[in-house]
Amino acid sequence: MANSEKFNSKNLGNLLRSKRKELGMTQTQVAEIVGLTMQHYSRLERGEYIPSLQTFINIAENLKLDITIFDVSQKNKISTTMYEILSLLKRLSTTKQKAVLSFLKTMA
């Protein structure tokens, strides 16, 4: 992550909310699928706490999150913003990905 950005419960909550909405799901639907109460899942999205590893893996699998959010060999963490950008880029065609790359290079 960038120096000014830390992985915390708020960032995780924002990531979960973003992915859930991207999939067109309600909090109730996600909660039922992963075996949590809606209130419990809602608290996760509000960033009130970080879930247990098992709960996080269960949610990540059901929301189709790529949980490889850091490079272990380099120990460089990716910000939640970068993660969202990468998730969106993965859905684009190769041609559109190249167009985005070209645009980004002009901004750098």
Q: What average pLDDT is seen over the chain?
A: 81
Whether residue 96 has pLDDT greater than 50 = yes
pLDDT in tens, 37-75: 999 999 999 999 888 878 888 898 899 887 665 444 444
- CB–CB of 1/77 below 8 Å? yes
Q: Which residues pair with 71 in a beta bridge?
A: 76
- CB–CB of 101/93 below 8 Å? no
- CB–CB of 16/56 below 8 Å? no
Angle, helices 53-62 vs 27-34, to 10°: value is 120
Residue in the block written with tokens 């969106």? 88
Helix, strand, or coil (residue 5)? coil
Would you state the structure tokens that stand for residue 35, as one six-digit string?
A: 């075996």
In the chain, what percentage of residues exceed pLDDT 70? 80
Task: Please give the model's pTM, rounded to 2 decimal places.
Answer: 0.58
pLDDT for position 68? 64
